Structures are given as structure tokens and as C-alpha cells.
Amino acid sequence: MSTLPTFADVQAAARRLEGIVIRTPLLENARVNAKLGGRLFIKAECLQRTGSFKIRGAYNFLASMSEADRKKGAVGWSSGNHAQGLAEAGRLLGVKTTIVMPADAPALKVANTRASGAEVVLYDRVKESREEIGTAIAQRTGATIVPPYDHPWILTGQGTAGLELAEQAKALGVTLDAVAAPCSGGGLSTGVALGVKGIMPNATAHAGEPAGFDDLARSLASGNKEKNAKLSGSICDALLAPEPGDVTFPLAQKVLGPGLVVTDDEVLDAMEVAFREFKIVVEPGGAVALAAALTGKLPVKGRAVAVVCSGGNVDHATFQRALQRHKA
């Protein structure tokens, strides 16, 4: 891609999304701050429509399409949150949506996607290619493919969460030293970096990933696109993209600092802290940036740091696992 998305593109997306998405709160907790020795803010995108940030990019994409293309429908593939965001955006804009989802996606995410009116096509994420299935549907129906992350309309839509975050921090009289967001293919982390840096250019921005699926962190370190060895195996089901995107990676090289990598146990601990101290429900993939801050991999001491908790669509059993980790 010759021209990378800019802060102005994020601002344009914010205008399209005005009145559609929730301006989610920026949360702070005195006990957590005292323990970390700095100020930690959470952008609670788990409270967004459909329970995650994904409606931002999906709605911005559909709203940017021509009327003629919208009438032909949209096709997407997702483990769950992009599915729900695209389905709901389609419902709001009157666009027929078909979503290709892995058969092992959380049942709650599949049910919610169908509840917004989307047709769901299930596949085996180890043996089948969601891209091939979705592309075949698009070719047969004339529908437009709406990728989960690797498109300027998607990542600038996601970037509106960063724009809001920086505006909210500024309203509190806070200048952020660093911001971090969860990362699968890089749409949210690069978008948030654009949105924050447009207001606070000196803030560093980082992507959080689960151990074993840290393709972006390794790619940023090597300067080349690196792939994950496995396609599944982390509790963070939303963050298992095999490699960085063709659009997101060059932007990541420009706007992101070193990657942050956390374990599944650290993620479960972060989910528990989010519930106990911040009173929010965060899914595993949504908690990786918070986990990085709580473990010191993203230093908070003496600084003002913000993290995006990107989604709250977690099944009961997994959430129970997290809550049981608390030691009174």
C-alpha cells in the first residue's frame, strides 16, 4: 500500500461513528495505582455495543462503501468479536452479512452474531481456510469482503477508541506516557496508536499479544513479517491471527514500540483484577494489555499509562477460572 492511514482518517471515522458507538469510559482505580506506583487507565471497550471494539471498524467500513455495494451484502471471517461487530453494523445499515466462524468459537459469540441477523458458516480452523471459504461466498454472491483487521477503513475505525482515550485523558489534565492495546492482526493496536499520537505525539504505543502467538512482537524486532508456529492453543481465542497484515505491519513499524507478550496465567490474573477492582468483565484476548501493565512488562511506576480492554465476550467457565485465581 503506497499511502498509510493517518490521524485525519481516524478523525473522519469518528465523525461517521458519532451517535452509533458508545463513548466508553476511561477507568482508574486508586488501589491499583498505589500498588503500581503510577496512574493506570483502562479504556473499557468491553462496554461497547456487541461487547467489543469491533463495531467501530466494521461500521466504518460498511458506511464507507458505495450504496450499490452495500446492496450486494458483506462477508467476513472471525473468531467472534469481528463477527458480532460486522453483524450488528450490517443490521444498523441494512446490509446482509455472512460470517465465517471457527467451529470452536465460544458459543456465546456465535449466538450473538446470529442474533444480529447474520448468516453464520462454521469451519475447522486447523484443517480449513476461512479466507478461502469467505472468498468463495463473495465470488458467488457479489458481496464485499470485510476483513477483520487488514484494511484502512477497519483500522481507522478501531482507531477512534484511541482518539477518545486521548481526549478523555486530556480532559482529566493527564498527558499519557504510554498506551497499549491487544493485538491479533494489528488493526486495533495500530489504529489506537494513530488516534492517541494525533493528540499526544510523545506517547509510546504498544501491542499486547499472548505467548506463542506474538507474531507482531517478533516481526517488529526482526523487521520482517513473522508467522506463528501454531494456529490454536491459547486462552486468548480472539488473538490468534497467524501473521501481521499487509496494511497493519508497515503502519506498526511506524507507530508502535516494542511488543508486549504475556502468558495465559497472567491474562487470567488480569481478568480477575479487572472484575475485582474496576468492576468490568473482560475476555482473555481483551485483557492482554492490562496484563502487561499489571506485570510490569509495560512499566507504570512514575508514569501515566492507558490500556484498552478490548472485549468482554467471555464464556462462564473461562470467567470462573479467572475469578478463582484471587488469593484473599
Q: What is the pLDDT of residues 114-153, one digit of tens each?
A: 999 999 999 998 899 989 999 999 999 999 999 989 999 9
Active site residue 78: no
Domains 7-53+151-323 and 54-145 share a fold: yes
Determine how β-strand 97-102 pairs with β-strand 119-123: parallel
In this prediction, residue 1 carries a pLDDT of: 43
Domain map (residue ranges) of the chain? 7-53+151-323, 54-145
The C-alpha atoms of residue 172 and residue 163 are separated, in whole angstroms, by: 15
Give the pLDDT band (50/70/90) at residue 328: low
pLDDT exceeds 60 at position 207: yes
Indicate the CATH number of 54-145 among 1.25.40.10, 3.40.50.1100, 3.30.70.980, 3.60.15.10. 3.40.50.1100
Task: State the average pLDDT over residues 314-321.
Answer: 93
Selected catalytic residue, list 43, 52, 54, 189? 54
Top CATH class of 7-53+151-323 equals: alpha beta
Active site residue 230: no
Which one, of 123, 221, 228, 140, lies nearest residue 184 by Cα?
228
The CA distances from residue 64 to 13, 61, 151, 285, in Å, are 9, 5, 12, 28
In this prediction, residue 152 carries a pLDDT of: 97
Give the whole-number percent of the chain exceeding pLDDT 70.
99
Prediction pTM value: 0.94
